[in-house]
Amino acid sequence: MNLADLFKNFRQYDSTEQFLYALAAIFTVWFALAFLMRRAGRLEKKHAFYEWGEAGFSAVWLALIIRALLVEAYSIPSESMVPTLLIDDHLLVSKTTFGWPAPFGTGRIFQFRDVRRGEIVIFVPPNQPQVSYVKRCVGLPGDTVEVRDKIVYIDGRETEWPFSFGRLNEVAPSSLKALNAAREQFMARPDVVALREAGTSATMAELYHTTWLGPYVLPTGTYYLEAAAAFVRAYARILDLPKAGTYETQPKGYVEQVAPSQPDWARDHHLGNRDWFGPYTLASDEYWMMGDNRDNSLDSRYFGPVKSWELRGTPLIRYWPLDRAGFVH
Active site residues: 80, 135
- Burial, 140: exposed, middle or buried (Cβ in 10 Å; 0-12, 13-18, 19+)? middle
Closest CA to 291 of 110, 100, 77, 11: 77
Nearest residue to 125 (alpha-carbon basis) of 329, 262, 283, 275: 262
Return the exposure string of 29-42: e unless at least 16 CB atoms fall within 10 Å of the residue's CB, then b: ebbeebeeebeeee
Contacts of 13 (CB under 8 A, 6+ apart): 21, 130
What does the alpha-carbon distance between residue 232 and residue 118 come to, in Å, rounded to a whole number?
30
The neighbour count for residue 160, using CB atoms within 10 Å, is 9
DSSP-assigned letter for residue 46: T
Environment class of 67 (CB within 10 Å of its CB; exposed 0-12, middle 13-18, buried 19+): middle
- Terminal-to-terminal C-alpha distance of the chain: 43
